[in-house]
């Protein structure tokens, strides 16, 4: 999504320093504070709000070598004050309008916000968000697999878990860990996250959509109050932060990010997208024109891409796909899909799945 030198926000670095002090006191290792302080980078050595990932990784490796704790990434990030992070504050502002809707938050919105804006915290890890039948999965992919240690991935897992838990508690179903295989290690992860842990070839958090606060229940409430909540759906803080720190992102990419985030929660119209960028509709159209694109083309291509993904790879029902793509009814999605592919969504899904089975 972001083409830039990988880096971590300074607010995260400062939060880790604060957590480290708490950690050392908790472990009764106060005498190590001066030694640890010598390892910490000088934030003044780096201009702007971010620190290059190479420098961050050196600091992490030095801390790990000094402290010799197999679960340092887990321990530190559970002590981090996430409310001090600018990105957490911005997510809070985005979801605040939904807090009074029968006390239910749209889980899909929260997960999308975390996924899209995790680079604001750190780019050491790339998140992949997958919506499957009855499940939602975060995959954690290292951006420096040959040199990064497990503590950074563990830390990213904890941060995502804690942010999601803050808004939609009790939805984690399972976690997959790739670096730990012993029964003791898996049991430790289960005790930390409060969910079953399994060894796998990937690192993932798996959330259940079918539960008491299923996101579709919240969505039905949002649809009934669309106009009122639509005016309150305020994602500007996050997008402003994202595009300030990663100014090289094109306006086409910006539209795709905003549409993907809003879809199924609020209508991704020209006005809504332009408002999210704090520019006028005419300015948005002009800048897209300069890049050889139009808003309608971007919206349609995004929906087509996601429709194919949801119907084939994720095997999601056509009714659920209609919701996920922001349509108010299955029939509306049915008509649009036929204009795209000449067949119904169900026929398309069956054809694709049959083709996949024939090639297994």
pLDDT, tens digit, 9 for 90 and up, residues 335-346: 999 999 999 988
Least confident of 16-25, 211-220, 316-325: 211-220
Quick one: CA torsion of 157, 276, 231, 269, rounded to 10 degrees?
Answer: -110
- Mean of the per-residue pLDDT values for the chain? 83
pLDDT given at position 26: 93
Mean pLDDT, range 306-310, rounded to an integer: 84
Is the per-residue pLDDT at 130 higher than 90? no
250-360 architecture in CATH? Orthogonal Bundle (1.10)
- pLDDT level of residue 283 (50, 70, 90 thresholds): very high
Q: What is the 3-state secondary structure (H, E, C) of the chain?
A: CCCCCCEEEHHHHHHHHHHHHHHHHHCCCHHHHHHHHHHCCCHHHCCCCEEEHHHHHHHHHHHHHHHCCCCHHHHHHHHCCHHHCHHHHHHHHHHHHHCCCCCCCCHHHHHHHHHHHHHHCECCEEEEEEEECCEEEEEEEECCCCCCCHHHHHHHHHHHHHHHHHHCCCCEEEEEECCCCCHHHHHHHHHHHCCCEEECCCCEEEEECCCCCCHHHHHHHHHHCHHHHHHHCCCHHHHHHHHHHCCCCCHHHHHHHHHHHHCCCCCCCHHHHHHHCCCCHHHHHHHHHHCCCCHHHHHHHHHHHHHHHHHHHCCCCHHHHHHHCCCCCHHHHHHHHHHHHCCCHHHHHHHHHHHHHHCC
- Scan for tokens 């990419």, then name that residue: 253
pLDDT given at position 157: 95
Selected residue with higher pLDDT from 104 and 317 = 317
Of 46-55, 94-103, 281-290, where does the model show the most confidence?
281-290
> Cβ(222)–Cβ(265) under 8 Å?
yes
- pLDDT level of residue 226 (50, 70, 90 thresholds): very low
pLDDT given at position 212: 40
User: What's the predicted TM-score (pTM) here?
Assistant: 0.80
Selected residue with higher pLDDT from 67 and 306 = 67
Selected residue with higher pLDDT from 272 and 158 = 158
- Per-residue pLDDT tens over the stretch 66-82: 999 989 999 999 999 99
> Cβ(224)–Cβ(104) under 8 Å?
no
Give the percent of the chain with pLDDT over 90. 40
Is the per-residue pLDDT at 211 higher than 90? no
Is the per-residue pLDDT at 151 higher than 60? yes
pLDDT given at position 243: 79
Give the percent of the chain with pLDDT over 70. 84
Instruction: Give the Cα separation of 95 and 116 in Å (integer).
Output: 15
> Cβ(263)–Cβ(325) under 8 Å?
yes
pLDDT given at position 154: 93
pLDDT given at position 102: 45
pLDDT given at position 133: 67
User: Reading across the β-sheet that carries 135-142, which strands appear in turn?
Assistant: 125-132, 135-142, 204-208, 172-177, 197-199
pLDDT given at position 78: 95
């Amino acid at each position: 999504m972001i083409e830039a030198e990988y880096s971590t926000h300074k607010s995260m670095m400062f939060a880790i320093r604060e957590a480290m002090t708490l950690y050392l006191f908790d472990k009764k290792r106060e005498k190590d504070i001066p030694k640890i302080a010598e390892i910490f980078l000088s934030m003044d050595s780096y201009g702007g709000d971010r620190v290059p990932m190479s420098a961050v990784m050196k600091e992490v490796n030095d801390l790990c070598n000094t402290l010799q704790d197999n679960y340092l990434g887990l321990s530190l990030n559970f002590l981090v004050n996430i409310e001090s992070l600018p990105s957490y504050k911005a997510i809070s502002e985005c979801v605040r309008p939904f807090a009074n809707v029968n006390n239910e938050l749209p889980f899909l919105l929260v997960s999308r916000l975390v996924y899209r804006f995790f680079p604001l915290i750190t780019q050491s890890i790339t998140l992949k968000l997958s919506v499957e039948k009855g499940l939602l999965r975060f995959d954690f992919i290292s951006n420096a697999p040959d040199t990064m240690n497990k503590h950074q991935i563990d830390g990213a897992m904890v941060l995502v878990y804690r942010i999601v838990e803050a808004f939609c508690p009790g939805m984690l179903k399972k976690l997959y860990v790739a670096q730990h295989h012993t029964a003791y290690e898996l049991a430790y992860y289960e005790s930390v996250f409060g969910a079953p842990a399994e060894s796998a070839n990937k690192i993932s958090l798996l959330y259940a959509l079918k539960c008491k606060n299923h996101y579709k229940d919240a969505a039905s409430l949002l649809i009934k109050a669309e106009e009122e909540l639509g005016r309150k759906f305020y994602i500007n803080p996050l997008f402003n932060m994202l595009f300030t720190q990663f100014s090289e992102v094109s306006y086409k990419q910006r539209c795709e990010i905003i549409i993907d985030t809003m879809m199924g929660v609020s209508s991704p119209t020209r006005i809504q997208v332009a408002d999210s960028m704090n520019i006028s509709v005419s300015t948005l159209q002009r800048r897209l024109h300069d890049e050889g694109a139009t808003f309608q083309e971007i919206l349609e291509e995004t929906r087509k891409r996601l429709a194919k993904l949801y119907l084939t790879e994720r095997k999601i029902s056509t009714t659920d796909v209609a919701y996920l793509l922001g349509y108010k009814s299955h029939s509306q999605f049915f008509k649009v899909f036929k204009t795209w592919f000449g067949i119904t969504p169900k026929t398309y899904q069956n054809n694709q799945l049959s083709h996949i089975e024939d090639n297994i």
